[in-house]
Structure 1
Amino acid sequence: MGAEHTRPTPPAPPGVRRVLLVTVVPLVVATVVAAVLLWPRNAPEVDGGGDPARYHGTVTRVVSEACPSPAETPEDTPGGQPTRCGTVTVRVENGPAAGQQVEAPIPEGPGAPAVEAGDEVVVVELTDPADPSSSSWNVAEHQRGEPLGWLALIFAAAIVAFGRWRGLAALAGLAASFGILLTFVLPGIGAGHPPLLVAVVGAALIMFVVLYLTHGVTAQTSVAVLGTLGSLVLTGVLGALATAAAHLTGFGSEDALTLSMFQSDVDLRGLLLAGIIIGSLGVLDDVTVTQAATVTELAHANPGLSRLQLYRAATRVGRAHIASTVNTIVLAYAGASLPLLLLLTADSRPVSQILTSEFLAQEIVRSAVATLGLIAAVPLTTGLAAIVTTAGRSVTALAGDEPAPVSPTARPGFDRTDVLEALSAARPGPPPNPPPAASGGRPDPDGRTDSAW
């Protein structure tokens, strides 16, 4: 528990460090300059004057009553016939009415909170525009600050307990990510800047801060940074081409339609591309860091591996990683769109029309483009890591990127039988019988539980 994922990486040769420095530093400077130029200085103020004030309170009593008969209920009543009627008495805890007992109707309708005595709720005071002296109270929702606070505390404690200093750095990186999103990306898009440009610059800022803060300023981290940045650029290009080819407008969801009514100057198509960029970053940095660490660990375990061997071995790990991550991406989008998918099952249109509709086509484009960028990250990062890891070795060892020929008398590589015999030799008693060997002195393939390297 709490052990590091990888051992401290050996320092790269001075020449490699200089090349990475010359490559990464200009990218960092360009990102910072772009962020300064795009920083939202004149972001529109959110006018909350029309929203009713919200106050905290505690339910002290709930009185249920018989609901009126259907004949007494107007036909145009929102939500139809109520199923629970009565009043809720709430003790207001803040605001001008602090300490007072106010009455509100029992919440009804879709999504209405089910309240009982002792519940901590949020209430709103509604004032009649025709008569400002007349007001009424309604229960809006439950207070969720305390349970969410405890959940956040457990989340942070688990990460620090398992990751120790690395976990603490990960929490700092998470805070930095949300800080950049809330102070730069979202206000920048709201201020009318091109959403795709703001998303690329914001993603680059998050990438530089999070990766170097979490994994340290090393050559391995720099390789992951370059692989992530290259994959992000490719994802943005593919996203632009895919949205143009599919003629997507960005109006494929109710959220986009609502946003267009409040902020008509926002480019919803660019916002769709920005969402693809930001969503891809969280998966890309995982893949690139893993591939860079895999190459480093393989080179440390067997310094005799050539550049090509390192690339091939790490790529096999990347294939397994991608195979599971692709499923993760699709399931993540499906989980976030379950109401939409459930609605599709009740749609009477042909399947071909449903799949090519705007709201589902943009989800297909989002998943496909993110997956293509993810796949490109594996060979790109692995190739860079293999070059950086093997840099500084003797030219003879790397000539042709092929391993030196092994003489017939050379000792074969370790396999499972060698390890079992070595472990059992340290204990008293006769050694265990080895598994039946196949031709060539290797264990019987049917007796192995894992494949050979």
Structure 2
Amino acid sequence: MKISQGKAAWIVLLFSILFLWVGNRYASAHALHITISGYESEMNDQLFAKVTRIDSVTPSQTDSSTNVVKFTCIITSGDKKGTSVYATQYAYKNNAAMPPQVSPNDKVVLGKLSDGSSTEYTFENYDRIEQVFWLSLVFVGLIVVFGGKRGLKTVLSLALTCFAIFFVFVPCIMAGFNIFASTVVICIYIIAVSYILTGGINQKSLSAAIGCSGGVAFSGAVYIVMERIMKLTGYYNDQTSLLEQTFTQCPLDLKAIVFAMVTVGALGATMDVAMSIASSLEEIQKSKSNMRKIEIIQSGFNIGKDIMGTMTNTLILAYIGSSLIMVLIYAASNYPILQLLNKEEIIVEILQSLIGSLGMLFTIPFTTVISAWLIRKSVGQRPEEAKTFPHVSQSQQKKNLRIHTFNDEGR
């Protein structure tokens, strides 16, 4: 029974709601209440406000490089929403790392200090959520404008992917569940939901899903092998050490965390490659249905060569861009190149880019072969065969077609 794309989308949406709700409830029920020291109280004492007036700017009596800025603002969140309060900012004159001085109409985050008898409000940071929200809205709007219904499904797929990561996968890690198993489950969910929403339930989506799964599995297997050969520890930066100190009640397998990073990172690229190849081969089959499997495979490899050149650059540049600050720090310190390349912090970044690229490369032939087999079966018999011999078996049609062609050539 063939399922329309509309029904497939509703099935996926209902399944996703069930998966996210059950997954989040189950993981949250087993999760330990873990907070980094000082962070929870800091978050509870923060308020959002809008600056209405700058009252005074005076040099600090203890630090000549600092100005003490007194300003009036209106609180926009919490129980005191709408209340006008006075706040203080310590603006550093020559420190680019610190937030600049506030101005009227700026939206800020305030910290609240109370000793019981009085309350003091201090500037903590700028509230940048609104700008991110509008930029995200532009992004979503352009996808819908350019993609129409398909674009809307893409946005829905992206939202479900983010929900799965933050509301199921992360709580599973917090609960101490097996990270390897959690990574596999979340990858399968993302692949299934994304392909069914954007492509429907058909041979093309199935081909892309199998090809993508093969590429991701290959990436994960390569990491496991390389992790053992290279004797990695998982302690590759300050954040991993902080994780270990935080999760004392439920120790984390840091090597499994790196596995999840590599696998989920490779998933995005392999999904794109797999769907591009499967979709292209389906269109080729529709326009020329008498192609042999070997011809379809050759076409898939040719398409893969073009994709390979751009996607490999995309992956490598993405990882280089994300670690550029770290590279600059080591470059400025004149760190010996051989010692630098042996640091686990650098090794993990290199592994992420190389393994992600290898997974993408493996996806190309795997998806091509799967698509050549599945999509060719779905296309069915050739149009000229069906038109010439509609009531004859397919094998007899082929035989009769060869005889018919031979007679035409003889004439």
Q: How high is the TM-score relative to the length of structure 2? A: 0.80
> Following TM superposition, where does structure 1 have runs of at least 4 consecutive aligned residues deviating by more than 6 angstroms?
35-38, 395-399
Shift of 1:168: 0.8
List alignment gaps of at least 5 residues for structure 2: 3-14, 382-393, 400-404
Q: Select 1:239's aligned residue among 223, 227, 235.
A: 223
Please state if 1:313 is matched with 2:299. yes
Please state if 1:368 is matched with 2:378. no
The structure-2 alpha-carbon separation of the partners of 1:189 and 1:113, relative to structure 1 and needing over 3 Å to count, comes to: farther
The structure-2 alpha-carbon separation of the partners of 1:398 and 1:165, relative to structure 1 and needing over 3 Å to count, comes to: farther
Q: Select 1:61's aligned residue among 15, 31, 53.
A: 53
Query: Which residue number corresponds to residue 389 of structure 2?
Result: none
Matches within 5 A, 1:101-120: 101-108=85-92, 110-120=97-107
List alignment gaps of at least 5 residues for structure 1: 1-10, 12-27, 74-80, 400-405, 411-453
Amino acid at match of 1:90: C
The structure-2 alpha-carbon separation of the partners of 1:179 and 1:93, relative to structure 1 and needing over 3 Å to count, comes to: closer
Shift of 1:354: 0.6
Tell me the distance in 2 between the aligned counterparts of 1:398 and 1:293.
28
The structure-2 alpha-carbon separation of the partners of 1:37 and 1:158, relative to structure 1 and needing over 3 Å to count, comes to: closer
Tell me the distance in 2 between the aligned counterparts of 1:82 and 1:197.
53
Q: Select 1:44's aligned residue among 17, 27, 32.
A: 32
SS in 2 for 1:176: helix
SS in 2 for 1:44: coil
Please state if 1:296 is matched with 2:287. no
Amino acid at match of 1:254: D
1:38–1:198 contact (8 Å) kept in structure 2: no
SS in 2 for 1:95: coil
Matches within 5 A, 1:313-392: 313-391=299-377, 392=380
Please state if 1:95 is matched with 2:78. yes
Query: Which residue number corresponds to residue 415 of structure 1?
Result: none
User: What percent identity do the matched residue pairs reach?
Assistant: 24
Shift of 1:100: 3.0
SS in 1 for 2:345: helix
1:243–1:365 contact (8 Å) kept in structure 2: no
Tell me the distance in 2 between the aligned counterparts of 1:314 and 1:146.
44
Over the aligned positions, Cα root-mean-square deviation in angstroms equals 2.9
Amino acid at match of 1:82: S
Q: How high is the TM-score relative to the length of structure 1? A: 0.73
Query: Which residue number corresponds to residue 193 of structure 2?
Result: 209
The structure-2 alpha-carbon separation of the partners of 1:224 and 1:96, relative to structure 1 and needing over 3 Å to count, comes to: closer
How many residue pairs were aligned?
Answer: 360
The structure-2 alpha-carbon separation of the partners of 1:316 and 1:107, relative to structure 1 and needing over 3 Å to count, comes to: same
Amino acid at match of 1:66: P
The C-alpha deviation readout for 1:39-91, integer Å capped at 9, x for no partner, is 513112355652241111122333222344xxx55xxxxxxx63434333333
Tell me the distance in 2 between the aligned counterparts of 1:344 and 1:396.
71
The C-alpha deviation readout for 1:242-301, integer Å capped at 9, x for no partner, is 122222222212322222221241211100110111111111111001111121122222
Tell me the distance in 2 between the aligned counterparts of 1:100 and 1:37.
39
Tell me the distance in 1 between the aligned counterparts of 2:73 and 2:313.
47
Amino acid at match of 2:167: T
Tell me the distance in 1 between the aligned counterparts of 2:398 and 2:346.
50
The C-alpha deviation readout for 1:362-383, integer Å capped at 9, x for no partner, is 0011111111111000000000
* Stretch of structure 1 that moved more, 195-204 or 84-93: 84-93
Tell me the distance in 2 between the aligned counterparts of 1:158 and 1:397.
50
Query: Which residue number corresponds to residue 124 of structure 1?
Result: 111
Tell me the distance in 2 between the aligned counterparts of 1:272 and 1:202.
15
The structure-2 alpha-carbon separation of the partners of 1:378 and 1:350, relative to structure 1 and needing over 3 Å to count, comes to: same
SS in 2 for 1:87: strand
The structure-2 alpha-carbon separation of the partners of 1:118 and 1:389, relative to structure 1 and needing over 3 Å to count, comes to: closer
Amino acid at match of 2:52: T
The structure-2 alpha-carbon separation of the partners of 1:210 and 1:339, relative to structure 1 and needing over 3 Å to count, comes to: same
1:56–1:92 contact (8 Å) kept in structure 2: yes
Tell me the distance in 2 between the aligned counterparts of 1:111 and 1:270.
36
2:53–2:104 contact (8 Å) kept in structure 1: yes
SS in 1 for 2:30: coil
The structure-2 alpha-carbon separation of the partners of 1:38 and 1:135, relative to structure 1 and needing over 3 Å to count, comes to: closer
Larger radius of gyration: 1
The structure-2 alpha-carbon separation of the partners of 1:396 and 1:152, relative to structure 1 and needing over 3 Å to count, comes to: farther
* Stretch of structure 1 that moved more, 45-54 or 368-377: 45-54
Please state if 1:176 is matched with 2:164. no
The structure-2 alpha-carbon separation of the partners of 1:257 and 1:278, relative to structure 1 and needing over 3 Å to count, comes to: same
